[in-house]
Amino acid sequence: MNIPDRIIRIIFSSSHDVLIGTDVNGRLHKFDLSLNLIASSKTTEYNEPINAVVTEGDYIFTKNRRGSVAKYGIETLQPLDVYDEFMLRDEDNLFDRDEEPSPTAARGIGVANGKLFTNNGYSELVVIDIETFELLEIRKPMYPDAFIDNICTENPNRHVVGQTNGIIQIGNLESGEFPIEKSIDENNIHWIRYDKRHERFWATQDAGEGDNEFKDNGVVTFELDGSNIKDRTFTYDDVEALEFDEEHRFIYVGAFDGNIYVFDNEEKDFKLSRIIGPLKYQIINMCYAKDHLYVLLQNGELICMDTYGNVKDNSLYQGKCVWEMTPHPEDENLLFVAKDNGIEKIRYGEGKYGTVNVERLESHRHSLGIIKRVRPLKDGSYLAITQNKYAMMVSRNGDIKWFKTLEGHPRSLEVNSDYSNALIGTDAGVIYEFEIETGNLLERAETTGTAIWVTGYTKDGRKMYGTKNGDLHFYDNDPNKPLHVMQLDGVPKRWVNYPEGKTYIIGTFGFLELDLEKYEVNSIWGMDILVNTKENALVLGNHVHIISYGYQMASYTYNEQEFTALHENLPDFPKAIAGKIENGNEILLIGGRGNYINAYKVQNGVPYKVREFYLS
């Protein structure tokens, strides 16, 4: 059987020798250890993505992104009981009785002494009897302005809770006393595990700590009392998974860079034994079971491999994504769509009775990997960068005119105002400038190793590269001699130039309008209600529309930065955004994982969905 929707979490049930996966539409899936799909749960009213899942005996317990908590039978995947996210709360802890649950991707859920512990949608800690599913207690949030991202109960006497703000708390869930608090990261603590070989804990980092933030991540070890904190950094990207073998001799750490780092834990002073990868895509979850690793990639593909990286089985799921929708520079109705399997050209515009027409024109498949960014040129040709470390220039009929191999995965592609040169940055910290017509390399430079997330040209010809830690380096000719370094508080995602001369940047810090004469931020949108990373944005008429990894789209007035609308039901992670004004009417397109594109008509700053269509 094929898996219909993208899997976002996978765990191993040792008592039943099966894998349990959760997906973006609130369903469960059960696999055998050869990745054959045994069963899938039916849909319920609670169909939000499930990020938190744990098994205990004959049951599976979940919490979805809005905070509803559910119980399923592991044999049949039959839903048995669900607590509604709005009513599962203690109003005495809330600011307002009308407060609604906050969506979160936090993964924290655990079982201890026959009780289930997890956050609700208000960050309160709920305690539920696992047999009767009776709600026993609702406690105040364990930490202000944070959700629980992981609960480790593997040591029966010392429980550890990891928060979304990088704080770990050591204590006991039953008593509710957690006297020990330590900061080990500036962001999420996705995994905490008990190392029985050396009687200590391991934890993952999501961003790094202090001067390492968004530069170097890894794992942290600490004693049962929180002392002797030691970190081992080995990647520039998020660390997403942490698994032990049966004897706790080898530790397998999966990272967003696509690598699995294998540590030999025979001695307390552990060593990096080998590296598996890079896999073809980012790792978001992983389980160890019976000498095999089950690795979940962000595009939904699930891989079974031995502990040396030899692939044994794959799930029947093909990842798809709309990464970018870029208009032709002289025809705003024509979009070049960057997808996992190539480039597709579409034309869109107003339809009858207030609808939106979409015409699929042609597709180009180049087999050089996932297309992450595309820049159309005036003659209909285009530049693109791929996950497989290529840059290429392609004619309007799909003929590859030139292609170049890059050092590191390319993260950004921009062209200058006269379409003569292109600037590319990679996660290996390398900057390339190519002549577009010939593919000749005009410039190659390196940072100090910090990953580059954005590149760009200013209207007056200055160049820019932005590193993952939020430093924007502006320069004329030599990247190592910046004119100015502008420091932003967060990870930049995309650089946006508009024809009228304004320049913007989107990232975890929101959507910013930049003054590049004074190197200042003029305006900020999107920091009030959007959760998780702000991925992309568009200025359309007098409003700004922002999409985020929280499956959200928020809209604001341009001049006053006032909130006008929020959509929280996007089919999956949004990545791409495009829009135009036709006959005074605003049309907005949003695309993302699963190859969906939602079409909206915008009225008074509020997008109204007209249709949802899918590319192949």
Instruction: State residue 208's pLDDT score.
Output: 87
Question: Distance between CA 360 and CA 601 in Å, rounded?
Answer: 20
pLDDT tier at 448 (50, 70, 90 boundaries)? confident
pLDDT in tens, 381-423: 999 999 999 999 999 999 999 999 999 999 999 999 999 999 9
Instruction: State residue 116's pLDDT score.
Output: 98
* 316 pLDDT above the threshold of 90: no
Question: Distance between CA 510 and CA 100 in Å, rounded?
Answer: 22
Question: Distance between CA 110 and CA 201 in Å, rounded?
Answer: 16
Give residues with Cβ within 8 angstroms of 48, minimum separation 6.
26, 64, 65, 66, 68, 103
Question: Distance between CA 119 and CA 141 in Å, rounded?
Answer: 8
pLDDT in tens, 104-144: 999 999 999 999 999 999 999 999 999 999 999 999 999 98
Burial of 478 (0-12, 13-18, 19+ CB in 10 A): exposed
Instruction: State residue 427's pLDDT score.
Output: 94
Question: Distance between CA 86 and CA 101 in Å, rounded?
Answer: 6
Specify the DSSP element, H or E, that contains 193.
strand 192-195
Question: Distance between CA 555 and CA 41 in Å, rounded?
Answer: 35
* Tokens linked to 388: 């497989």
Question: Distance between CA 24 and CA 572 in Å, rounded?
Answer: 7
Cβ 601 vs Cβ 593: under 8 Å:
no
Give residues with Cβ within 8 angstroms of 448, minimum separation 6.
429
Strand-pairing partners, residue 539, are 544
* 1 pLDDT above the threshold of 70: no
Question: Distance between CA 423 and CA 350 in Å, rounded?
Answer: 34
Query: Average pLDDT, whole number, for the chain?
Result: 96
The average pLDDT across 349-377 equals 96
pLDDT tier at 373 (50, 70, 90 boundaries)? very high
Q: How many alpha carbons fall within 13 Å on the CB side of residue 424?
A: 34
Give residues with Cβ within 8 angstroms of 243, minimum separation 6.
193, 251, 252, 253, 254, 286, 287, 288, 293
* 500 pLDDT above the threshold of 80: no
Cβ 268 vs Cβ 280: under 8 Å:
no
3-class secondary-structure state, position 539 = strand
The average pLDDT across 559-582 equals 96
Give the chain's end-to-end CA distance (angstroms, integer): 20
Percentage above 90 pLDDT, the chain:
91
The 10 Å CB-count burial string (b at 16+, else e) for 528-557 is eebbbbbbbbbbbeebbbbbbbbbbbbbbe
The average pLDDT across 419-428 equals 97
pLDDT in tens, 140-190: 999 988 999 999 999 999 999 999 999 999 999 999 999 999 999 999 999
Output 247 or 448, whichever has higher pLDDT: 247
Instruction: State residue 497's pLDDT score.
Output: 84
Question: Distance between CA 221 and CA 205 in Å, rounded?
Answer: 11
pLDDT in tens, 458-467: 999 999 999 9
Strand ranges, E, within 245-298:
250-255, 260-264, 271-276, 283-289, 292-297
